[in-house]
Amino acid sequence: MGLTMITDVPGTLVELLFIRAVWDLPVAADLPPADPPPDRGTSARPRRPQLVAEWDALWVDALDNLDATRDEHFWGRRHGLDGIDLPEMRSWKATVIGQVEAVAAEYHHAPEMLLRDELSAAERHGLDRLIVLPVRGLFARRHGSSLVVSTRTYLDLDQLRHEVGVFAG
């Protein structure tokens, strides 16, 4: 069986992490803060009473529907871009996504290749996507058929091996 699992750093989720960080929105207990922290630039939190609820709803929507939520400025299409420093957001997204893409591009040294047996076993137990997020520390959570990990967990082969093993049961 060939490895068909997708490794992904979804721009929509990275965008939402940027917004959460620069607007100082409450950090959910199950999701660490962004790492590295983005530069706020001219970003400023808008005054809207439903802001946290709107962010939470979009986070769940984006995580549950990754393939359907690929549009640029996911937040902006629904709520506008007021309070978001777009150049800073683009720069931070490029940095954090590029870090994972650079590692994955080193085909024979990429975690997916070094752990292909473990990942293939996890695929047989339902894993179809490894989602890498720029959040602090060693972090991993199962979300449906996805394993969500921090960049640090993705880059730490022993830790990633452990988390993939936990997914596979």
pLDDT digits (tens, 9 = 90+) for 140-156: 999 999 999 999 999 99
pLDDT digits (tens, 9 = 90+) for 55-91: 999 998 888 888 766 666 788 888 889 999 999 999 9
Q: Is pLDDT above 80 for 5?
A: no
SS3 6: strand
Q: Which tokens hold the place of 63?
A: 């995580």
pLDDT digits (tens, 9 = 90+) for 93-141: 999 999 999 998 888 889 999 999 999 999 999 999 999 999 999 999 9
Beta-strand pair 140-143/129-133: unpaired
Q: Which tokens hold the place of 111?
A: 């975690």
